[in-house]
Amino acid sequence: MSPSDELNELFRRFRRSAWRWECQGDYAVDEAKLQRWRDGLPPDLEAKRPWLDFIRDLTATGKSWQRVRMLTEPLTEYLRWLIEQTQVNIDAGEDIRWIPQRQAVELGMPGYDFYLFDDELVAIMRFGEDRLLRELEVSGDPQVVATHRAYRDTVWPHAIRHTDYHAPSSP
């Protein structure tokens, strides 16, 4: 099973909560989506519809989907694009927050992405040079889970809600 398939299976199986720490300045993204943004065109919401429907469906059942995204300093083009694309995710039911890289480092946050599912399972994500997910390390070990719960509990109160975040102007 590919790491992406394994992660999708975890998305289908969690019962209460999914929480993500997202700290890469760039991820693999369809170049056409970025070009639409560069050209000043609105996002293709139809292409995003399956994800938005997934989030709406799971939050309608009482599950939570939260994430904190680290903001590189300076912001990458990807992050500037993502900031402008995030409101539709919020409208679908995600709780997305932002934290500056400097503050994340001060708080001791890890340099890798991870999901915490139901406070019981951790999925550490490792990306290749092509920015694609290459490895998923899943653990239910109580020590590993406790460490990642502590990361979440440390950063969450410091992260800025998307609706309160004011991105710097593009250069």
Instruction: Give the pTM.
Output: 0.93
pLDDT of residue 170: 52
CB atoms inside a 10 Å sphere around CB 65? 20
Instruction: Note the residue count of the chain.
Output: 171
Supply the DSSP symbol for 74: S
Distance from C-alpha of 86 to C-alpha of 50, rounded to nearest angstrom:
15
Residue 171's pLDDT band (cuts 50, 70, 90): very low
Chain segment 87-103, per-residue pLDDT in tens: 999 999 999 999 999 99
Give me the residues paired with residue 160 across strands.
98
- 3-164: CATH number: 3.30.870.10
pLDDT tens for 19-50 read 999 999 999 988 888 898 999 988 888 888 99
Distance, CA of 120 to CA of 145 (rounded, Å): 6
More confident residue, 58 or 42: 58
pLDDT tens column, 114-169: 999 999 999 999 999 999 899 999 999 999 999 999 999 999 999 999 999 987 65
- Helical spans, DSSP H, in the chain: 3-13, 31-38, 45-60, 77-85, 87-92, 101-106, 142-155
Q: Per-residue pLDDT for 80 more than 70?
A: yes
Residue 31 is predicted with a pLDDT of: 87
Domain range list for the chain: 3-164
